[in-house]
Amino acid sequence: MPPLPDLSFTQLALIAGLAAFSAVAGGVAGYGTGALMPLVLVPLVGAAPVVPIIAISALFTNSARTVAFREKLEPRRAVIALVAALPTCVLGAWLYTLLSGRGAAIVIGSTLIATVPLRRVLKRRGHRLGEKGFAVGALVWGIVVGSSTGAGIVLLSLLMATGLEGAAVIATDAMVSIIMGVIKLSVFGFAGVVTPLVLTVGLLIGVIGFCSTFLARLLIERLPVHIHTAMLDAAVIVGAAAMIFGALRG
């Protein structure tokens, strides 16, 4: 990893402001920090440190979501996702500095966009993603989450396809993502990519995100389930479109 630049107070304030906004957005929609933060981080610190920075901050934001929505957590689905995704997450983190995910991002993004109308059609017909299908999806997700940022939309979409809605999606996604984050950071630590600046920026985003997430809970408590589900669908579509756009630009 090349040397990282020093950040000014104004640049740190910009990072802090976007961290607060993305944490609230992520707390409501289940997805946000991994997609929004790279927009300001890449111009300031470069592309290489972004994944470890987001991995550090995600430990805080996902911990806050787990605490805020703990009563909605679905332990069985969380365990299935963890068992399936842990090995591939390690593989994805190791491949992070070796492989380009441009083509994969386009395919995954397109698939995710397609899952929104498909899931609604299947739901009307009484079909849901079973445990075996969910496990296979989590297996693939492990590689994506280990090697990139913004992969939360994949697990988000998978959980919704199993029939979860609203805060249950947020809580279960957050619980799984905490364990994934620890695994990623372990791999990055051994690889020597967690520098002092990476740690500082990651902690700044994480602490602000932790506090901001509880504001999101207040918003969710006032949202009907069908509106919150529609917002989750919108998050999947926007996040997937951003993934495709980023891949095409890169």
Residue by residue, DSSP assigns 16-63 as: HHHHHHHHHHHHHHS--HHHHHHHHHHHHH-STTHHHHHHHHHHHHHH
Q: For the residues 241-245, what does the mean pLDDT come to? A: 75
- As a whole number, mean pLDDT of residues 95-105 equals 58
pTM: 0.69
Q: pLDDT digit string (tens) for 7-51?
A: 788 888 888 888 888 777 766 665 666 666 777 777 788 766 777
Dihedral class, residue 3 (left if φ above 0, else alpha if ψ from -120 to 50, else beta)? beta
pLDDT for 154 equals: 77
The span from the CA of 95 to the CA of 146, in Å, is 8
Q: Which of 66, 191, 89 is nearest to 144 (CA)?
A: 89
Compute and round to an integer the Cα radius of gyration of the chain.
17
Mean per-residue pLDDT of the chain: 78
pLDDT, residue 145, reads: 80
Domain ranges of the chain: 9-249
Confidence of residue 139 (pLDDT cuts 50, 70, 90): very high
